[in-house]
Structure 1
Amino acid sequence: MADLSLTQLKVSSSPHISEGLDAQTLMCLVLTALLPLSVYGVILYGVNALVRLLLSVALAVAFEALFQLATKQKVTVKDCSAAVTGLLFALTLPPMVPLWQLAIGILFSIVVAKGFFGGLGANVYNPALAGRAFLFVSFPSSMGAVWVNPATDAVSSATVLSQIKSGDFTAGTEDYLNFFLGKRAGCIGETGIFLIIIAFVFLWATKVIDWRATIAMLVTASLAAFLSGGDVLMTLLSGGLLFGAVFMATDYATTPQTKPGRLVFGAACGFITFLIRKFGGYPEGVMFSILIMNSLTAFLNNLTGRKYGYKRIKKAEAKK
């Protein structure tokens, strides 16, 4: 038998254990869940949203193919992961973000956040969120601009979050209903709350995502808001909390693979989101909280993963 050194052994990217679905099937199911949300975004924000959604997906696929060709890798755009990243990225953007800035952001997502780290499953940070963070830091005026929806005459969610932080916003029953139905301005994909909930149930039922990170994030953010005297319902309905909890905090590569790890990950995301919303310099903290916890995913996997080489002793045996 030939000798093999450790450097000759390659470990595949996470996830190492799947639910029996290949990557292409998983991504197609995610696209299916995102499609109604995308259509609703177009209904709310019109052709501006449609152009940005289509352009983002097209550029994501093109950039991934070009990067893989340039680096002499196998072109894998058929797995639909680039399309998912492009659609998720566009859904996190304001409907009037300049197209050239969108192109820069999706280039960062695909090439830097995903390609440079080794591609699908090897990336440390969620590519769509990393691209959004890059735009947020580089072009804050575009990403944080107040945009008024002509159909609803509603100000952006960032403004509402700022008012909530300052104590100038008091919600009534009509406000809750409007936020639930998406009758407010904001990022393209974050406003259709009822569709996000349906998407979560669909993705959980088809075993595409695990419920733990999502529920832990929402419960922790709600509990923190309640204990601080905040409006729990508005905490859940405003900003991108629900969207991030369902679509970003459940990413395979950038979130823990263990069940306890997912609970810790989600709870930490929820608490960090609350801290930024309550005390931070920005009105919204979902993006930052998930990216921060992405950095700790490997640590959480190691901390909560099964320890091999140790025999589990039953209580009955331990008493002997």
Structure 2
Amino acid sequence: MAVSEGVATDTFDLFTGMVAGSSGETSALLIIFCGVYLIMRGMMDWRIPASVLLGASLTAGFLFLLNSEVYPDPLFMLFSGGLMLGAMFMASDMVASPVTPWGVILYGLLIGFLTIIIRIFGGLPEGVMYAILLGNAAAPLIESFTQPRIYGDKKREARS
């Protein structure tokens, strides 16, 4: 049983979709099932949702360890709201996400971290969409840092 904003909710009910909510964000089990199907069909990179959920759970876990009476536990943060939906289907958009392996992981970790920060410290109860928009804006910068150097190419400082 997790408590957030004075409302007690069973984590298993959040996972199975036995709570009221917006369409597509109440059953984490169904969202995971559909995401695994897309991953198995090769239509989605598994590293993006995995790193979004990892970043969110690490951030929520750290805050929960700091003060468990103020901050909800990581499972509540993962299964409530649109985090699971955003991680599986919105953050994995091929147009706006990075393409390098390390870039994809950094992109997902950033989105997961920002989601929890916006949820807890921001004025918004959700924050997934804003975190994805900020991650999309940071994707070119992430790509520039994680782009591998062409074999035999010299560093930029050495060329001039």
Same fold (TM over 0.5): yes
Q: 1:241 aligns with which of 65, 79, 83?
A: 83
Partner of 1:220: 55
Whole-angstrom CA distance in 1 between matches of 2:37 and 2:112: 22
- Identity rate, percent: 38
How many Å separate the matches in 1 of 2:98 and 2:21? 30
**Residue 25 (structure 2) aligns with:** 190
After alignment, is 282-291 or 293-302 more displaced? 293-302
Which 4+ residue blocks in structure 1 deviate beyond 6 angstroms?
Answer: none
Show the 5 A alignment for 1:229-268. 229=64, 230-268=72-110
Paired letter, 2:126: E
Whole-Å Cα distance in 1 between the matches of residues 79 and 20 of structure 2? 12
**Partner of 1:281: helix, strand, or coil?**
coil
How far apart, CA to CA, are the structure 1 residues paired with 2:25 and 2:55?
19
User: Which position in structure 2 is the counterpart of 1:86?
Assistant: none
Higher relative contact order structure (alpha carbons within 8 Å, sequence separation ≥ 6): 2
Count of paired positions? 146
Unaligned runs of 5+ in 1: 1-162, 313-320
- Structure 1 residue 311 displacement after superposition: 5.7
Secondary structure of the structure 2 residue equivalent to 1:251: coil
Select the residue among 272, 278, 287 that pairs with 2:114: 272
Task: Select the structure of larger CA radius of gyration.
Answer: 1
> Which whole-Å CA distance do the structure 2 matches of 1:191 and 1:170 have between them?
16
Picking from 144, 157, 169, the partner of 2:7 is: 169
Q: 1:257 is paired with a residue of what secondary structure?
A: coil
Instruction: Please tell me the residue identity of whatever aligns with 2:121.
Output: F
Shift of 1:170: 3.6
Q: Following the alignment from structure 2 to structure 1, what is the Cα–Cα distance between the partners of residues 106 and 35?
A: 19
TM-score w.r.t. the length of structure 1 is 0.43
In structure 2, distance between residues paired with 1:235 and 1:170? 13
Q: TM-score, normalised by structure 2?
A: 0.83
What is the rounded CA distance, in whole Å, between the counterparts of 1:309 and 1:177 in structure 2? Answer: 50
Unaligned runs of 5+ residues in structure 2 are 65-71, 155-160
For residues 210-265 of structure 1, the C-alpha deviation after alignment (integer angstroms, 9 at most, x for no partner) is 11121111111111111111311111110000000000111100100111001000
State the distance in 1 between where 2:152 and 2:20 align: 54
Q: Which residue of 2 aligns with 1:199?
A: 34
SS in 1 for 2:7: coil
